[in-house]
Amino acid sequence: MHYRELVSFVILVSAPVVTPREQAAFATDAYLRNLGAPVQLLRAVPRLLGSEVPGGGFVYADFDPSPYQRRLTQPVLIVYGTADESMPTVQGPAIVIDDIARAGNEDYTVRYFEDANHGIRIAGELAPGFREATARWVQGLPETADAPPRIAGAQPEQTFRADPVAQPRWYASGDMILVTLVGGILLIFLGPALWVVSRLIRRPSEPMPATLAHSTALLGAGVVTIWLAFTAYLVLVADLAINYEQSPYVVQGGWLGIQVVAVATTGVAVWSGARWLNVRRHGTRTGTVATITLVGVHLGALILLLAAGYWGIFPNVV
């Protein structure tokens, strides 16, 4: 028996309608804007969500429901809460109505419930009238399938569209995200690890000039601090967004703090690089372990600072 013979009607409650990737970008952007997140973070969201998942395989992110909706011939009830910031509450019904029309289906009903969230709840309770409206529509079929008013309830607001997310360049997508971050950190810790090993086997190399050693250590610590702080910041902001809480000190103050560290670390990178060139110009020998440390820290720092720039951690120049 065909599935169309088994299904008499369809009810879509808080349905995303668009692909999971588009819906995730839409919801994240809405949450961050409500928190007053910095513009750099808003720009980074599409870059992150548009990238492939490290390791691949998550093809569901681009699942498009429209081809299936265009085969619906059953009556459709579409329900949204006006306080649902994670779904395209205006765009969604328009897409469904257009899709089912391609199958010659004009039996749709749209209902909005004022102040109801994604679960059609207000303060933990189902929105008043939701049960009754749904029951009346189901029990009244087929008469209620196209009964006026077709669209009714509270007035929804949708400021931005849920649109396809651009896929970033190869160097900032999928496995390359992990390669960049993990590779950069490993390069920074390569030298110190070799130094510990040399001490354990009692084969100390020639010492690094004190000023250069200090600048190199400060550079490595600064870059690692940037990414640890950025990661912690994202976790805190996500927790605020999920729990619908506000904290300007965390959102704005935390971002400003990360940018200060990023700019200061860039200055340290220039200073440390200049010190290294000066040491080489004077012909001072640094030894094998020290040289590997210098190359590893400076190269790792360069990679991670470039990545920080790509993800918008630095302040806008203009």
- Are residues 23 and 148 located together in one domain of the fold? yes
Query: Residue 203: its pLDDT value, please?
Result: 64
Distance between CA atoms of residues 230 and 225, nearest Å: 8
4 CB-near residues (< 8 Å, 6+ apart): 73, 74
pLDDT at 171: 76
Domains in the chain: how many in total?
2
155, 38 contact by CB (below 8 A)? no
Pair 109, 196 in one domain? no
Check whether residue 141 and residue 234 sit in a common domain.
Answer: no
Domain boundary (153, 187, 212) is at 153
Do 137 and 15 belong together in one domain? Answer: yes
Give the helix/strand (H/E) hosting 138: helix 130-139
Does one domain contain both 229 and 281?
yes
Pair (254, 191) in one structural domain? yes
In a domain, 220, yes or no: yes
Q: Is residue 253 part of a domain?
A: yes
- Any domain includes 18: yes
- Which of 101, 125, 153 marks a domain boundary? 153
Pairing label, strands 125-126, 76-81: unpaired
Q: Do 210 and 266 touch, CB atoms closer than 8 A? A: no
Last residue of a domain, one of 87, 121, 153: 153
Shared domain for 136 and 215, answered yes or no, is no
> Cβ(229)–Cβ(256) under 8 Å?
no
Whether residue 175 sits in one domain with residue 146: no
CB atoms within 10 A of CB 83: 20
Name the pTM for this structure: 0.82
pLDDT in tens, 118-148: 999 999 999 999 999 999 999 999 999 999 9
Co-location of 94 and 201 in the same domain: no
Mark the ranges of the chain whose per-residue pLDDT is less than 70: 1-5, 55-58, 202-206, 317-318
The residues that bridge with 125 in the sheet, in sequence order, are 122
Same domain for 269 and 181, yes or no, is yes
Answer whether residue 58 is part of any domain: no
Q: Is residue 278 part of a domain?
A: yes
Phi then psi for residue 63, to 5 deg, are -65, 125
Q: What pLDDT was estimated at residue 1? A: 42
Task: Answer positive or negative: Cα dihedral of 78, 79, 83, 84.
Answer: negative
- Position 258, amino acid: I
**pLDDT per residue over 253-305, tens digit each?**
999 999 999 999 999 999 999 998 988 887 777 778 888 889 999 999 999 99
Quote the tokens at residue 150. 């077709």
114, containing H or E segment:
none
- Based on the domain organization, do 14 and 130 belong to the same domain? yes
Residue written as token pair 């029990």: 139
Q: Say if residues 216 and 286 touch (Cβ distance below 8 Å).
A: no
Cα 293 from Cα 305, distance rounded (Å): 18
Q: How far apart are CA 109 and CA 309, in angstroms?
A: 48
Neighbours of 24 (CB within 10 A): 19
Q: Residue 254: inside a domain, yes or no?
A: yes
Percent above pLDDT 90 for the chain: 64
Q: Which domain covers residue 185, as residue numbers?
A: 170-310
Q: What is the pLDDT of residue 198?
A: 77
C-alpha to C-alpha distance for 62 and 60, rounded to whole angstroms = 5
**Per-residue CA distances from 177 to 180, 281, 285, 298 (Å):** 5, 36, 36, 19
Instruction: Decide: 112 and 157 in contact? Cβ < 8 Å.
Output: no
| Separation of alpha carbons 12 and 184, rounded Å | 46
* Residue 174 within a domain: yes
Residues 14 and 124 reside in one and the same domain: yes
